[in-house]
Structure 1
Amino acid sequence: MQVLGVKDQVMCRAFLLTFKGLAQRWLVALPPSSIRSFEDLADRFMSHYAANIKPQKDITHLGDIHQDEGESLKAYLAQWQKEDQAIEEVEDQTALTFFIESLRSG
């Protein structure tokens, strides 16, 4: 919207339409005229909800995952794929190396 030159007032109103539940009630409860710009609204939103942001996992997280004793390869592979998909931009060869190292011996 900024690229198209849309005014801040329109962006703020459009932002409201993307909210549901508690987030929408939070925004509606803000005092009238307390938001000066879309950037101000975005900053206040991020400050209010920053604690809810899940930290992004990085590639080193894969080094902490290991196949448990008695865990089937099929079950472990399902868990591994879930963890691998939670990490952005993992090279296949690197992920494969971590996977092989995480398997229990035998």
Structure 2
Amino acid sequence: MGYMMTLMHLQGVADEIMCKAFPTTLKGAARIWFSRLTPGSINTFKELSAQFTAHFIRGHRYKRSTACLMSIKQREDETLRSYISRFNKEALSINEVDNKIFVAAFTNGLRKGKFLFSLYKNDPKTMSEVLYKATKYMNVEDALLAREEKPKKRERQEDTRQDQGWKKARKGD
């Protein structure tokens, strides 16, 4: 609880004063947690300490709201796979799980393209459905990319052979 609070407690300072002094020692997530407490819901400093300990020390972390998901956008050069990974990482920090909000936020952040069109067309209801469709879409993309790369390799090999043939022909001249 901090040195100041411990010192006040040892000196026998009244609960009311300790409860009023307590928020001045808080920062970040702890201050936000304190500001969300219902006024008049805590009667003693012991209660306040117990709630604080239960919330922070026992591993309960401050979670973000679903509104932060709406700010996640797929970048122009970002692959679908990378966007999904980044979106899921943020989604883990959300307290309430509501599939409609997750689907809406994910869709809202996607770049315009075939996958977004596919989602609007099929209207998935859960993130599981969205991720299933995304996996299928990424697999197709990977297969098409692999097909495109094979002819490029053949062209490069043929160019190399032609260059070697040209060099041999020039030596014979």
Q: TM-score, normalised by structure 1?
A: 0.56
The unaligned stretches of length 5 or more in structure 2 are 33-62, 114-173
Larger helix proportion of the pair: 2
In the alignment, structure 1 residue 48 sits paired with structure 2 residue 55? no
Deviations 1:53-102 (A, max 9, x none): 27564332222110111112222222211222222213112211210121
Distance verdict in 2 for CA 1:64–1:42, change over 3 Å: same
Q: 2:12 is aligned with what amino acid? A: S
List gaps (5 residues or longer) in structure 1: 1-18
2:84 aligns to what SS in structure 1?
helix
Alignment partner of 1:66 is 2:43: no
| Equivalent pair of 2:65/2:96 in contact (CA under 8 Å) | no
Supply the distance in 2 between the matched residues of 1:82 and 1:68 (Cα, whole angstroms). 16
Aligned pair in 2 of structure 1 residues 81, 40: CA closer, same or farther (>3 Å)? farther
Alignment of 1:1-106 (within 5 A): 19=1, 23=2, 25-30=3-8, 32-34=11-13, 36-37=14-15, 41-49=18-26, 51-53=27-29, 57-106=64-113
Task: Using CA pairs under 8 Å that are at least 6 residues apart, name the structure with larger relative contact order, 1 or 2.
Answer: 1
Larger radius of gyration: 2
Share of identical aligned residues, percent? 22
SS for the counterpart of 1:79 is: helix
The count of residues paired between Structure 1 and Structure 2 equals 81
